[in-house]
Amino acid sequence: MLDSLRHLLLIEALGSFTAAAKAAHLTQPALTASIQRLEEAVGARLLHRHARGATLTAAGEALLPHARAALAAVEAARRAVAEVEGLARGRVRIGGGSTACTYLLPPVLTAFHQAHPGVDLRLREMLTPDIAAAVEQGELDLGIATSPTPGEPWRRDPMALVASPALAASLPLPLAPGAPALTFSPGSSLRALLDRHLPELAVVVELSSIAAIKGHARAGMGVALLSRVAVETDLALGRLVEVADPRVPPPRQLVLVHPGEERLSPAARALRTALLGQPPASVQQRKPVE
């Protein structure tokens, strides 16, 4: 049954029996027989075959999320069995936003890897809404998201509005409507904060990484609202300065998202403990440019 569910997911993803049989290293008759056994078990036809390939029937569409959940549960069970003996083996899938993946998680994950080198860590950079959905669907074990996403409080993340020294010196405070801003595309939590607290700014460029935003800010293209931990080095070296606009949002609450401690594998439980026990990194407060 499990193999048949995997074969159904392959056909749905690849669009044809031919491609799915090749990916599964099966003959087409063997793949067809596997799907027929599944159809007999559930009592419904699951796929339409046509000249361009194969598509799911209404019954197939209904079965699809349950097939994914069943296979995810079996995979979780296998990982749990493999990890029982002192976390000698295992895998933890964790997701987070750009700030978490680039600045906040590396020290914790490095220490965890040194303590448990046999545990495979898979880190994915994602938007907050996608993180919560991925945990719910069993695609991630743990996620670092921004409140109000439900989760265990992890740490407070102070914000900083920064610009190049030359640009900061030329801007009136508070910033006037139309002042140039650099940010992420819509969907990012940092973009949402900028739009909510500083809606009068004019977004002159949308970028996909913190490094790119900081590079353009250092060049003087605009101001940028970022996590303070992401700009500490630039502030210390004078490559960026903080802009003292009173509308800069307060620290955002980051939360640890997971399906419940009892549903975590031993390795994921251990990493959850490490994350919650990690003291917040000290953030030196600097006087903004006025």
Interior CA angle at 104 toward 101 and 107, to 5°?
Answer: 100
**What's the mean pLDDT in 48-57?**
91
Write down the pLDDT at residue 85: 58
Residue ranges of domains in the chain, CATH in brackets: 2-81 (1.10.10.10), 87-155+253-277 (3.40.190.10), 159-250 (3.40.190.10)
Question: Which of the 8 DSSP states describes residue 178?
Answer: T
Contact 254, 281 (CB under 8 A): no
Q: What end-to-end distance do the CA atoms of the chain give, in Å? A: 67
Write down the pLDDT at residue 45: 94
**What's the mean pLDDT in 130-154?**
94
Give the CA distances from residue 207 to residues 164, 186, 204, in Å, rounded to whole numbers and listed in that order: 17, 10, 10
Q: Which two tokens stand for residue 196?
A: 């909510």
| CA gap 7, 65 in Å, rounded | 14
Per residue in 245-285, pLDDT (tens digit) is: 999 999 999 999 999 999 998 889 999 999 998 644 433 33
Per residue in 81-121, pLDDT (tens digit) is: 766 656 777 899 999 999 999 999 999 999 999 999 989 99
